[in-house]
A = this chain, B = another copy of it.
Amino acid sequence: LAQGRNKRVRKLLHRMHPAMIAALLERLDAGQRSALWQQVEASREGRILAHLKGDLRRSLAGEAHDAHADEAAAPEHGSGDGISQLEAVRHALEQGKLKRVGKLLHHMHPAKVAGLLEALPPAERNEAWSMVETERAGRVLAYLHDEISAALAQQLDLEDLISAVEHLELDDLVDLIQTLPHELGSRLVHATAGARREQLESMLSYPEESAGGLMNADVIEVRADVQAGTVLRYLRLLETLPPQTDMLMVVDRSGRYQGALRLSALVTANLDATVAELMHTDVVGIPVDTASRDVALLFQDLDLLSAPVVDDRQRLLGRITVDDVVDLIREESDRTVMQMAGLDDEADMFAPVLVSSRRRAVWLGINLVAAFLAAWVIGRFQATLEQLVALAVLMPIVASMGGIAGSQTLTLVIRGLALKQVQRGNIRVLLNREVGISVLNGLLWALVVAALAVVWFGDWGIGGVIAVAILINLLCAALAGLAIPLVLERMGIDPALAGSAILTTVTDVVGFFAFLGLASVLLL
């Protein structure tokens, strides 16, 4: 029974009489006994101890005393920085003091618990996870990256999982369900009741990366013809507003969105002003199929805290809140950086070695093809290299300068595309500039490298050839750095994903070909 499922053990213990537990403790061997003891609620320890034999009582009482001493120390840990928290938890886990772990986690915000769980290796993570209270587990899941959240959610008993997600905001629940295996996800959907289930199902029908996938249904609607005083009385009846409510939505009889009534306008208004006079009509409804990236730009440009989502007939479906947009922006930037190295940003940093190896191998394989292409170009010039081995020494310099210069242009254009600053209307201008820059930098570094090569090998020919090759490669690098993202964008491929691998291939091939080709023609 005590095979890691601490939550179930706790539930069973909770139902047992202290005398029964004491008897159970006496029958177990020392290791199991100590593990079981860690799951006993603090309030019942005393009563169980009373039922135990002398020496056993003393040793367990010693542990209990330890735990309480920890408690006094815990707030101190909690106020320390993240490092000491992680170390405290790992230390407690190593000693098997799960009670202390539970107490440490109890004092932390769910976001911090999630961060801590992600920083733990899998075995310890599972142990720590078993000590998170069910009521808080749902919010912790919402803060975890996809892969880890799915794994931890599946460790819970179904009934625990259901009660854990009971109070989750709908958009977070939707995200969670989308990461879970299909069967488990639909069980969660079936476990929700009534109106919540209807909303859940409609939200699940929108694609994840759209306004529909970001929105929440918890809007408060008012009519345009009522007075501010009436609205305030209505709100007082509600007692609490959904979190992150900065505005009420004004709709007409058929549910069409008409404008937004900011709380800040409401509290400063005369009580007899009508909603129509107070509402802002400049907050336009976001169509439900808007790409989430455009939603993020909209929030950023207009400094929105929340925004209404409407269908194609302007009917209000829900609202998007800025906290989800913040998460979205962070995740998107994360993904860009990770994708550039061929990594998955939702993956677990501590996934099993075999799983991670396989994922990364794909990227290595793609780059191997590129490397062999470059090698093949060099292979064409084996005879040249045999006669002049200095070329082999210098050729990586030509390729590497091209790669660096090209990635500068590439990065600039990818960012310009993301910020919509690179558009059909100004590509020509950009092209001229990039070519100009590459010529200037090409001249400068061609001279420097040539001078160094002449000094090193005492051969003016090699200097001349490497100078021309660097100029050519920097020019090609600028053109490729501009063209590759534009072409990928038009093909619907994210330039951040494949751009840099393709670029390096181009600059390697061009660099080797230009340098060795020129040398074989001019120097031999």
Contacts and interface: CB of A to CB of B under 8 A. Distances in A.
A236 B421 contact: no
Q: Which 9 A-B pairs have the closest CB atoms?
A: A333-B333, A111-B301, A392-B392, A341-B411, A303-B323, A353-B436, A241-B264, A86-B425, A357-B440
Given A112-B301, A349-B416, 5 more contacts: A119-B425, A340-B411, A361-B441, A367-B404, A375-B397
Q: How many subunits of this chain does the assembly comprise?
A: 2
Interface string A322-365: 11011101101110111011110100011001101100110111
A206 interface: no
Contacts of A400: 367, 370-371, 374, 508
A32 interface: no
A379 interface: yes
A390 interface: yes
B329 A333 contact: yes
Contact of A349 (B326, B370, B430): B430
B401 A353 contact: no
Contact of A326 (B236, B326, B338): B326
B90 A425 contact: yes
Contacts of A333: 329-330, 332-334, 336-337
Given A396-B508, A397-B368, A508-B396, A267 B267 contact: yes
Contacts of A349: 412, 416, 421-422, 430
A268 interface: yes
A340 to B, nearest CB: 7
Interface in A489-523: 508
A36 B411 CA distance: 42
Range for the number of chain A residues in contact with chain B: 35 or more
A370 to B, nearest CB: 8
A102 to B, nearest CB: 18
A341 B403 CA distance: 10
A152 interface: no
B393 A378 contact: yes
Interface of A: 82-83, 86-87, 90, 109, 111-112, 115, 118-121, 143, 232, 235-236, 238-241, 243-246, 263-270, 299-303, 305, 322-323, 325-327, 329-330, 332-334, 336-338, 340-343, 345, 349-350, 353-354, 356-357, 360-361, 363-365, 367-368, 370-372, 374-375, 378-379, 382, 385-386, 389-390, 392-397, 399-401, 404-405, 407-408, 410-412, 414-416, 419-426, 429-430, 433, 436-437, 440-441, 444-445, 448-449, 452, 456, 508
A86 B423 contact: yes
A239 B268 contact: yes
Given A405-B360, A408-B363, A421 B334 contact: no
A422 B119 contact: yes
Contacts of A245: 264
A327, A329, A332, A437 — which one has the most chain B CB atoms within 10 A of its CB?
A: A437
Contacts of A299: 326
Contacts of A389: 382, 385-386, 389, 392
